[in-house]
Structure 1
């Protein structure tokens, strides 16, 4: 797995896995809008030449260290990143979601996915407790 982006505080990272053909975005702690967008933008830039149709979204949080992402960044995800990635992936996207531990982040994830679906973006999504499970699923996501 190769690093595409890593914020200086390591709150937002993105990777590409050429062996299996997927992207991984990992968020944790307090993520600034700038770092959030940079991690996702690195994936979009890479997808221009490697249009993999699979992506893992991994949220690392718990009650002691909850994830914090500005609402404007999440809106950007739904209105900009999702349509762009969907187009680059030729309208076929498999998403492995590593479930957040906190109720707030779980609810936010469902809201964002609902907004994405309302824009006629059809995704094949599966939920996992651990990142390793999502990586294994990426080998055969059907």
Structure 2
């Protein structure tokens, strides 16, 4: 089951503790309350348990469709994500080799992210960020 949006606790101290506890979690948004995963390149060669635990900790999953992206698969698995069947709807990240049909984009939940967007040939920037909570 993929991670879903949760309400933040009222305690200021607990959110401050959470913000500093994992190297792959960054905080964004107003008041830095939106957690996102930062994929670290050293996860490909490192067996650092802290890096590998981020996907497991939040029960994150991915699917890869219409492409063979071995590096993307390896980075996600090394960050603790588990792969689901290409027909599954229980995923947080979908990596696809082509653009999605509009009806598929409209059917995505708030916590589901994709690597292709209408009328874009590639993702601008270097980092791919995924909401975790």
User: Relative contact order: is structure 1 or structure 2 higher (C-alpha 8 Å, sep ≥ 6)?
Assistant: 2
TM over 0.5: no
Bigger helix share: 1
Task: State the TM-score, normalizing by the size of structure 1.
Answer: 0.30
Task: State the TM-score, normalizing by the size of structure 2.
Answer: 0.31
Bigger strand share: 1
